[in-house]
Amino acid sequence: MHDTVREETPKEVAYRLNKPILRPVDYTQEIGSTICDRLFDGETLSEICRDAAMPDKPTVMRWLAQYPKFLDEFVFTCQLLSKDLATEAVSIVDKDNRASLRLALRHGSRIG
């Protein structure tokens, strides 16, 4: 019988050696896209930057200033989010208005 040995994750190695995990400081497109994906999924930048596997907030701000493609992706993500939030807000108001109208009609209130 062969015992399979699982490789330790960097976090496990750091814990075993009692060393802190180093946050990324060098920009990669993969990290930039991960940040944007997580923003689009509803996390705030502060929440993302609290993840030990992600850069801290000052590093992200520096990357936005230094890497135009990352800035473009970040801005595009924020624009999509704002449109999505605006659409959701209008939908909520419309539902509330329809419910208020139904209630008013049900109780014979005058509208207008």
* Domains of the chain: residue spans and CATH: 10-80 (1.10.10.60)
Query: Do residues 40 and 77 lie in contact, with contact meaning Cβ atoms separated by under 8 Å?
Result: yes
Instruction: Give Cα 61 distance to the centre of its chain.
Output: 15
Full pLDDT tens readout for the chain, 112 residues: 556 677 776 666 666 676 666 788 899 999 999 999 999 999 999 999 999 899 999 999 999 999 999 999 999 999 999 998 888 888 888 777 776 767 666 766 555 5
Per-residue pLDDT, 12: 67
Helix, strand or coil, per DSSP, at residue 47:
helix
Phi and psi torsions of 4, nearest 5°: -90, 135
What three-state secondary structure class fits 112? Answer: coil
Contact 42, 5 (CB under 8 A): no
**pLDDT at residue 73 in the model:** 97
Spatial distance between the Cα atoms of 11 and 25, rounded to a whole number of angstroms? 17
Question: Considering just the CA atoms, what is the radius of gyration of the chain in Å?
Answer: 24
Q: Residue 86 has what pLDDT? A: 87
